[in-house]
Amino acid sequence: MMLEELGSAITRLESCSLSSSPACSILKWQHKRFLPVLSRIQACTFPRVRRILTEEAVENAGCILYLPIGKGRTVLLTETPAWEYYVKAVEKGLILDTEYRRYIKAKDFSDKLLERSYVDECDGPDYKSIRYKNALSDGDAPAWFQTEKAALWAEEIVTAYCFIVFSAIDFAAEHKRQAS
């Protein structure tokens, strides 16, 4: 099952009566949003189409890092005080750095995956139509693209991004509660 780790975290939060926290709400929304996307990648039997679905999922995963701040506006997590508090706490050893390290690895992998994207192979405004035309061709996917691992790659990136957002927001909320 895809996004099992996120689903388990949400269940644990709900059993502890923490399901109404902003951090948990974001986890639930992203879980609901990405579950069908990742299931589609997993079910796809065409290597080139799977590559495109994976690239699009990874591109969209980057949106997880944008937080809603009201009236249709968003802010990038890494540009918020919550992120600053979180990173400082990790650097000082006040909290475990597990989610931070996982995020860094996922971000690095995401960047490498998208560097080799069809987007780079197709310049101009019609890149999506060219991208899909390539996907529907009979050729194999590039040697570097491991079709059987595509869904797992995308799942790890989505999971790491969701958990870093949850961790940073939750830590900032706790920090704010303690300060008041």
CA distance 25 to 15: 14
Query: What would the pLDDT profile of 162-172 be if each residue is shown by its tens digit?
Result: 999 999 988 88
Query: The whole model's pTM is what?
Result: 0.84
Give the residue from 171, 164, 162 showing the smallest Cα distance to 35: 162
The residue ranges of every structural domain in the chain are: 4-179
pLDDT tens digits, 33-80: 999 999 999 998 888 888 888 888 998 899 889 887 778 888 999 998
